[in-house]
Amino acid sequence: MTTRPPKSGGPKGRKPQAGKFQAGRPPAGKFQADGRARTGPRTSARDAAERAARNRGDDAGARDPWGGQVAAAPAPARPPKPRRDAAAPRGPAVAKPGSRPPAKRAAATAPAPAPGPTRREQRAAASATLASGVQTLTVEPDEAGMRIDRFLTARFPLLPFTRVQTIVRKGELRVDGKRAKPNDRLEPGMSVRVPPLRLDQPTERPRSAAREQDDAEFIRSLILYEDADMMILNKPFGLAVQGGSGTVRHVDGLLAALTGPDGQKPRLVHRLDKDTAGCLIIAKTRLAAATLAKSFRSRAARKIYWALTAGVPRVRQGRVSTYLAKEEPTDADARMRVAKHGDEGASHALTYYAMVDQAAQKLSWLSFKPVTGRTHQLRAHAAHIGHPIVGDPKYFSVENWELPGGIQNRLHLLARRIVIPHPRTGKPVDVSAPLPPHMAQSWNLLGFDAARYDPIVEAPEV
């Protein structure tokens, strides 16, 4: 029996369907438009992104995470056909040859929405609003060693000193995240958090050029020593060093007239009482101020004071060591009292003294060398040993004592001499101040020789 070979159309002799296969081309359902083979009915992430973009009307091509660059917008084309219902079943998206990708077609018809602030940006803006007025300052190298209260005064000249003390006392000021005390010292790089200050605008009238010139000439007339870093003034009797209640004219305010072209104002390094005359050191730069302040703290500076006191001490040369505290802690110019070790606010005070000359066993010319620098230290120590300084309104309390004729009832205390290492070279700067007019009058009346050798210079300090 002869059998026929099967027909070329496939099993059971069926003919191939028209359009099922095309010569030289694989089935369209097995490959994508770019020639990549499909693995089955599952769609790729790219296809899912494109479909989601079409549903939103968004430009998926501009946010294509797989593509290299965003293609330029195609030329305008005819309007697309109405979309089918999103709920209707949809087969895999297959791009026809020569057609645009769906993402590009969507970009041509629907503009991208304007981006809004992210939640992180919104939180940051809210935090900035809540923290408005709070400042974080960084301590500069030339501010090393400054007290925290003086640091604030230097950074905010319009801030009253009482406000500075209130900020620190209430703990509103933080240094490296910790509470600070007014006398804490700062080091370079420290972070100082300052609360809102609410600085008031200055109500003073603008200073005239003539007044500025007069103040500058007055300060220059007081200079005993000057170089590029520092100067030493001969502060007159009755001129306050810093401003206070009812004090309008003071050295710190007058120094503004000597502000340099770089905006640097000369700075106070230490203080003298209003009625104490003599040597007052001024720093011209912030770095010099910090270095000179360290010299005072380390006791590298040597100071000698002259005073006219009541009576004659039995011990011609001696040492006074006590603890001093304010009688009224809240009063900046309160009287100091001799306290005991451990008392609240008590600080140790050490002074050496020597008698240079005396007059009729009634008055003495004493020379003082203070080792520490407490408020009213010499005046309190002179009264403590029973020989208060003539003309002292706070500490002179000798009964039945009359002021000799021809001697003015003014404080007879002079910051006679100061020796301090130069802030740049380290070499000692030695300056002496002359007697103020009222003390010169008393010296002449009592026959004291101001050129006489001062025994305190060689006095021991141990």
Q: Which residues are catalytic?
A: 273
- For the chain, the helix, strand and coil percentages under 3-state DSSP, each to the nearest 5: 25, 20, 55
DSSP 258: G
Alpha-carbon torsion (340, 341, 343, 346), positive or negative: positive
* Amino acid (one-letter) located at 25: R
CA dihedral 353, 357, 362, 363 (to 10 degrees): -60
- The residues, any chain, with a CB within 8 Å of residue 271's CB and separated by 6 or more, are 241, 242
Coil, strand or helix: which one is 430? strand
Contact between 384 and 322 (Cβ < 8 Å)? yes
CA–CA distance, 352 with 370 (Å, rounded to integer): 6
Q: Are 28 and 38 in contact (CB under 8 A)?
A: no
Distance CA 281, CA 298 (A): 16
User: Are 107 and 113 spatial neighbours (Cβ–Cβ below 8 Å)?
Assistant: no
If we measure between CA atoms, which residue out of 103, 124, 461, 438 comes closest to residue 302? 461
**How far from 322 is each of 28, 250, 308, 390, 405, CA to CA, in Å?**
106, 31, 22, 22, 34
Looking at residue 128, its amino acid is A
Q: How far apart are CA 281 and CA 265, in angstroms?
A: 14
DSSP state of 10: -
Q: 141: number of CA atoms within 13 Å, CB side? A: 0
Element housing 257 (H / E): none
Q: Taking the chain, what is the end-to-end CA distance rounded to the nearest angstrom?
A: 141
Query: Strand order in 174-175's β-sheet?
Result: 135-138, 191-194, 174-175, 178-179
The rounded distance, in Å, linking the Cα atoms of 274 and 57 is 82
Residue entry with tokens 């408020």: 375
